[in-house]
């Protein structure tokens, strides 16, 4: 009896893995675009109330795993009873920043159980934080989460490329499981004030951010996405073209929106710089940032609300347009700064 049960479980697991690999291949070949997926309407649907409050973390190669665990587990009533209880670090993850030992110890010291497989994690949690620092593995790692119908926050960058980001959105639709992805800078208090109308209609914005490069990712996806997230938070979607001036030390990336508004991202690689900027509104100007723990707290509050309701505070279509912006910036660099239309 036990042998039969084990074999059936093994066969089912193998079948699911093959199905996931087939899905990854199919979306890679198809080159899914926004128009093919109903504009990712999943997030507008209503979802049944969640019954469990256990959070599982995937990926211990980033400080976010430790910081988010600590902040969530210290939230009290504001955390609505959610707690990080289990974590899993995929063996295939590169430890880019050499953080896995220290983050693993911090979570263990906090009472979090470390498990050695994705199945074990999903059996022990109700919702998921996908924290793997590199965007490339996110599709493969999130598919079993979607399949298990567990709501998931996917830390930035959502993916390493625009096709990868589109594939994740497609998988979310296919499995009927909601997700969202965002930098914490979107939830900076100053950014939120501008979004709520403190300077009226926003006519433009300039932001600056560190912009280290990682060759496996779109140039802006590795770090400058923080600044881009602020830009999109206050300007919204609708960018039509991007141009980029590149030097080894810095970038200036300019986006022109359909209504003529202009947003710029200055990415800096050669000297210390924070993450901040300025919004230009019809009633005056306002600061954006700088980064602080309040941005983390704002993001975590949104994550908890998303876990509880299934309603994402950032639409997948908006995140995908950011990836189209970043891809256009890379194409502009290759064309010596020529303006490039977004592929949306």
Tell me if the bond preceding 33 is cis, omega within 30° of 0.
no
Burial 291-330 (b: 16+ CB within 10 A, else e): beeebbbbbbbbbbebbbebebbbbbbbbbbbbbbbbbbb
pLDDT for 101-146, tens place per residue?
999 999 999 999 999 999 999 999 999 999 999 999 999 999 999 9
pLDDT for 134-164, tens place per residue?
999 999 999 999 999 999 999 999 999 999 9
Kindly state the helix (H) or strand (E) to which residue 140 belongs, with its residue range.
helix 138-147
Q: What is the pLDDT, as a whole number, of residue 11?
A: 54
Distances in Å between the alpha carbon of 180 and those of 113, 227, 288, 315? 25, 18, 22, 7
Is the residue at 43 inside a domain? yes
User: Are 234 and 304 contained in the same domain?
Assistant: no
Q: What is the pLDDT, as a whole number, of residue 252?
A: 99
Alpha helices in 187-334 (DSSP H): 189-195, 225-235, 293-309, 316-334
Full-model pTM? 0.89
Locate 176 and state its tokens.
Answer: 């009927």
- 334: nearest Cα among 213, 243, 221: 243
DSSP 165-184: HHHHHHHHHHHT--EE---G
Is the residue at 318 inside a domain? no
Q: Which residue has the tokens 């590169």?
A: 94
User: Are 49 and 103 contained in the same domain?
Assistant: yes
Q: Where residue 212 sits, what CATH number does that domain have? A: 3.30.360.10
DSSP 46-98: --PPP---EEEEE--SSHHHHHHHHHHHT-GGGGTT-EEEEEE--TTS--TTS
pLDDT for 172-204, tens place per residue?
999 999 999 999 999 999 999 999 999 999 999
Is the residue at 268 inside a domain? yes
Is the residue at 316 inside a domain? no
Is the residue at 135 inside a domain? yes
User: Are 165 and 261 contained in the same domain?
Assistant: no
User: Are 90 and 133 contained in the same domain?
Assistant: yes
Q: Between residues 37 and 45, which one has the greater pLDDT?
A: 45
Provide the residue range defining the domain that includes 58: 2-184+297-310
Is the residue at 319 inside a domain? no
Indicate left, alpha or beta for 289 from its phi (over 0: left) and psi (-120 to 50: alpha).
left
Kindly state the helix (H) or strand (E) to which residue 292 belongs, with its residue range.
none
User: Are 169 and 303 contained in the same domain?
Assistant: yes
Contact status, residue 331 vs residue 246, Cβ threshold 8 Å: no
**Stretch 71-90: mean pLDDT:** 94
Q: How confident is the model at residue 20 (pLDDT cuts 50, 70, 90)?
A: low
| Pairwise CA distance, residues 277 & 275, whole Å | 7
When divided into structural domains, the chain yields a total of 2
User: Are 229 and 180 contained in the same domain?
Assistant: no
User: Are 287 and 301 contained in the same domain?
Assistant: no
Contact status, residue 87 vs residue 161, Cβ threshold 8 Å: no
Q: How confident is the model at residue 30 (pLDDT cuts 50, 70, 90)?
A: very low
Q: What is the DSSP letter of 257?
A: E
């Amino acid at each position: 009896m036990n042998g039969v049960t084990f074999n059936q479980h093994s066969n089912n697991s193998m079948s699911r893995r093959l199905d996931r690999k087939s899905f990854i291949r199919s979306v890679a070949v198809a080159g899914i675009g926004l128009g093919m997926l109903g504009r990712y309407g999943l997030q507008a649907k209503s979802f049944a109330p969640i019954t469990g409050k256990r959070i599982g973390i995937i990926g211990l190669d980033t400080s976010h795993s430790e910081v988010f665990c600590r902040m969530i587990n210290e939230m009290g009533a504001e955390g609505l009873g959610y707690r990080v209880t289990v974590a899993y670090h995929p063996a295939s993850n590169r430890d880019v920043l050499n953080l896995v030992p220290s983050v693993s110890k911090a979570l263990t010291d906090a009472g979090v159980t470390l498990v050695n497989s994705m199945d074990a994690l999903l059996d022990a949690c109700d919702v998921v934080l996908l924290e793997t620092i590199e965007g490339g593995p996110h599709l493969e790692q999130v598919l079993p989460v979607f399949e298990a119908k567990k709501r998931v926050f996917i830390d930035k960058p959502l993916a390493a490329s625009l096709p990868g980001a589109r594939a994740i959105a497609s998988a979310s639709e296919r499995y009927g499981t909601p997700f969202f992805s965002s930098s914490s800078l979107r939830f900076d208090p100053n950014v939120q004030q501008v979004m709520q109308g403190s300077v009226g209609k926003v006519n433009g914005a300039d932001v600056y951010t560190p912009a280290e490069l990682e060759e496996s990712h779109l140039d802006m996806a590795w770090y400058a996405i923080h600044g881009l997230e602020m830009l999109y938070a206050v300007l919204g979607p609708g960018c039509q073209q991007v141009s980029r001036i590149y030097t080894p030390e810095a970038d200036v990336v300019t986006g022109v929106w359909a209504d003529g508004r202009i947003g710029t991202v200055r990415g800096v690689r050669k000297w210390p710089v924070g993450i901040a900027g300025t919004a230009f509104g019809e009633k005056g100007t306002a600061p954006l940032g700088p980064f602080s723990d309040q941005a983390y707290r704002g993001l975590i509050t949104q994550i908890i609300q998303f876990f509880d309701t299934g309603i994402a505070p950032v639409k997948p279509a908006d995140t995908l347009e950011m990836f189209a912006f970043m891809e256009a910036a890379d194409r502009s660099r290759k064309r010596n700064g020529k303006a490039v239309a977004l592929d949306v």
